[in-house]
Structure 1
Amino acid sequence: MKRYLLILLTICAFVSCAKKEEGFVINGELANTSEGMIYLKSFRNKMFFNVDSTQIVNGKFTFKGKVDMPSLYGLQTEDMQYPIQFFVENASMTVKIADDLEAVTITNSPANDLYLGNAEAVLEDNYNIDSLVTANTTSPVAAFFLYRYFTYRVPLDQLKTIRAKFAPELNATPYLQDLDKIIATLENIQIGKVAPEFALPDTAGVSVSLSSFRGKYVLLDFWASWCPPCRRENPNVVATFNRFKDKNFTVVGISLDEDKSKWLQAIGDDNLTWTHLSDLKYWDSEVAELYGVRAIPSNVLLDPEGVITAKDIREEALPATLEKLLK
């Protein structure tokens, strides 16, 4: 009897030792960086924040930890302008970063098979996010893609339909929780609704309220000095402003900058001669959140009563819309 008990204890000990680790191990290799620091960064609201760091030794590094569920993280050395993005899940993962410090290969990670297999494709205009979600209703990766890239690309009704396809166990993910908040926000800023009130500091630090512009057509123009598409659109906004400024129309610029000097310089460089407001909180801008802004440039056109009459009208559509309203 004692012999059988000993065998049973030995088997149990072996099974326990062989059990899969509860946390993650990231074994990394850099093709062209042999020394220095590398940082592991968590993702929130289009921003990355340092959560760990380690020394690179002979082009290799290791991170260990634990995540509640597969989640987007970044890796960044001092030579990288932007973090390399990938999903961390509780597994022993190998991450190989190529010479260009951008291309990445990850093994032993089903989450990254899905993420890296679609990370570039989701940026294409004709990408079918509905099909991806339908085939991956239990995947945090699919939830991330919908939240990150499609809240501003698909109509609200379609967004709600796709959101409803996810399995209930994903409701606790930060991606779906944030997506649900965005959907609730978008419900409040549909065309025909009164624009939410707010107040922000102008370039001199004086608080300016939206309601102070009542009686005019107002274009709320969300932009930032660091945003190349915004800077390319600015000449069109300038031309439109100059054309209609004497016809009961104005522009209110709302910047997602965080560096005031760069914000002010861009205003001068681009000849933006209208009212400018910002809380200098980058993507944590409270007004951007209030209006469900997830990509810039973005804009909302209000009538003299503060009712939303159009959204995201750019290039030729901007002056054409105002021509119809103000003729």
Structure 2
Amino acid sequence: MKWIISMIIIALLFISCNRGDMSIRGKITNCSSEKIFLDEVDVYLTKAIDSIKLKRNGNFRFRDNSRFPKFYQLRMMHGETIQLLLEPGERAEIRADCNDLLNTLKIKGSEGSVLVNEIVTALSKTTDKLDSISNIYENTTDLTLRDNLAKEYEQIMDDHRKYTIDFLLKHSTSLASFRALYQQYNEDFFVLNRLRDLQFYKIVTDSLVKKYPRVKQVIALKQNTQKLLSQYYNQKLLSFADEKHIGLPEIALPDTRGDTISLTSLKGKYILLSFWATWNNTSIDYNIGLKDVYRKYRNRGFEIYHVSLDKSIETWNRSVIFDELEWINVIDTTFPYSKAAGVYNVQILPANYLIDKDFSTIIAKNLLPAQLDVRLHELIN
């Protein structure tokens, strides 16, 4: 009897120990004898945890053990990666051609990995389209073509945004949604970049916290969502204050020479507080339209305080010089956590606010250059 009980205990212990075992095996052709790495993709860093040499036929196998789901990547010597998301106990099977990993990749045995790669593939195709349009845009002087390209560019981004929202709503309980939330076209530009997109952070956070309360990515997501919500509520309060005309917040940011320029230093003039970014094509077109208005009124009690939300100071400086922007240019590199954009409730770029001479009232918001011309003519004359 004691022998039977002992065997049952041993069996239970064995099952318990292996419940968290994960394996990744498969075949990557046209990479024979190349080294392949297994990395764990953590919240803020990626660390190598194993490496092996592919067999001549391309076969490989990795093992890991965890009580919680984990994000991984298979990394090839030439830098390309395969993104994975494994639940405890899953056995992922990979098939791919080293010459075209993204388009030949097949995954079985891991639903999370399939979903993650759906997102990766969709974003890759979108960025390829955007890069192609950008190249054509930069190499043409045809204004009509440029205008059409800008519209097409915005439409492609809008289509990918809609795809992402649909994905999040369908898979809000999957950790793959964590990857979908934080997609970026480049290091400065997130796919979900509008204020109202906060609702999708909230939906996914609430779903994942219930299912995976102890997973590191979910803990980080919860903290970030709470921070974004706090900023949102502060913006709502400011929006209410704006409507009641209760003063205006100060902004003090560095200009192209590194000198800090305050918004209130322009008190006594009509001020156009304008927000933009070099990665936003509509902003670039708007800047060009502003130039004639500025030259018309710059010596008649009018100034522009132009706030860039770029990450790269070098890119911003280059754009200011190239486009010959003669007004006051400053930069806030903390976007999307910009306090300046937050306190003025900026929800879309470009955005602008026409402020009166005593710095107490916003006269108008989001004026086109022609509309600004009319308002300034009325005010100054």
TM-score band (shorter)?
Answer: 0.5 to 0.7
Q: 5 Å matches for 1:1-327?
A: 1-21=1-21, 35=34, 40=39, 42=41, 49-52=45-48, 57-58=53-54, 79=78, 87=85, 89-90=87-88, 91-94=90-93, 98=97, 99-103=99-103, 104-117=105-118, 120=122, 124=159, 127=162, 135-142=170-177, 145=180, 152-153=193-194, 155=196, 166=207, 169=210, 173-189=219-235, 193-194=241-242, 197-214=250-267, 215-224=269-278, 227=279, 229-230=280-281, 233-244=283-294, 246-247=296-297, 248-258=302-312, 260-278=313-331, 298-304=349-355, 305=359, 307=362, 310=365, 318-319=368-369, 322-323=372-373, 325-326=375-376
Residue range with higher mean Cα deviation, 26-35 or 106-115: 26-35
* Mapped contact 2:83–2:116 kept (Cα < 8 A): no
Going from structure 1 to structure 2, the CA distance change for 1:55 and 1:11 (only over 3 Å counts) comes to closer
Going from structure 1 to structure 2, the CA distance change for 1:236 and 1:280 (only over 3 Å counts) comes to closer
Shift of 1:303: 2.8
Larger radius of gyration: 2
- Amino acid aligned to 1:267: V
Residue range with higher mean Cα deviation, 194-203 or 114-123: 114-123
Looking at structure 2, the residues matched to 145 and 199 of structure 1 have their Cα atoms a distance apart, in angstroms, of 34
- Structure 1 length as normaliser, TM-score? 0.65
Looking at structure 2, the residues matched to 177 and 102 of structure 1 have their Cα atoms a distance apart, in angstroms, of 32
Residue range with higher mean Cα deviation, 285-294 or 208-217: 285-294
Unaligned runs of 5+ in 2: 124-156, 184-189, 243-247
Q: Give SS of 1:303's match.
A: strand
- Amino acid aligned to 1:181: K
Shift of 1:199: 2.7
Going from structure 1 to structure 2, the CA distance change for 1:209 and 1:249 (only over 3 Å counts) comes to closer
Identity of aligned residues (%): 19
In terms of fraction of residues, the more helix-rich structure is: 2
Going from structure 1 to structure 2, the CA distance change for 1:16 and 1:196 (only over 3 Å counts) comes to same
Looking at structure 2, the residues matched to 55 and 118 of structure 1 have their Cα atoms a distance apart, in angstroms, of 26
CA RMSD, 1 decimal: 4.9
Looking at structure 1, the residues matched to 349 and 91 of structure 2 have their Cα atoms a distance apart, in angstroms, of 41
Shift of 1:169: 1.9
Shift of 1:3: 3.4
Looking at structure 1, the residues matched to 65 and 315 of structure 2 have their Cα atoms a distance apart, in angstroms, of 38
Looking at structure 2, the residues matched to 67 and 320 of structure 1 have their Cα atoms a distance apart, in angstroms, of 61
Q: Give SS of 2:231's match.
A: helix
- Amino acid aligned to 1:223: A
- Amino acid aligned to 2:226: D
* Mapped contact 2:305–2:328 kept (Cα < 8 A): yes
Looking at structure 2, the residues matched to 29 and 288 of structure 1 have their Cα atoms a distance apart, in angstroms, of 49
* Mapped contact 1:143–1:176 kept (Cα < 8 A): no
Going from structure 1 to structure 2, the CA distance change for 1:66 and 1:164 (only over 3 Å counts) comes to closer
- Amino acid aligned to 2:174: S
Q: Give SS of 1:252's match.
A: strand
The one-character-per-residue Cα deviations of 1:232-289 (angstroms, maximum 9, x if unpaired) are 742431222332454435141324234x444433332333333333365686766567
Going from structure 1 to structure 2, the CA distance change for 1:288 and 1:115 (only over 3 Å counts) comes to farther
- Amino acid aligned to 2:173: T
Looking at structure 2, the residues matched to 63 and 283 of structure 1 have their Cα atoms a distance apart, in angstroms, of 38
- Amino acid aligned to 1:51: K
Shift of 1:204: 1.8
Residue range with higher mean Cα deviation, 58-67 or 110-119: 58-67
How many residue pairs match? The answer is 308
Q: Give SS of 1:240's match.
A: helix
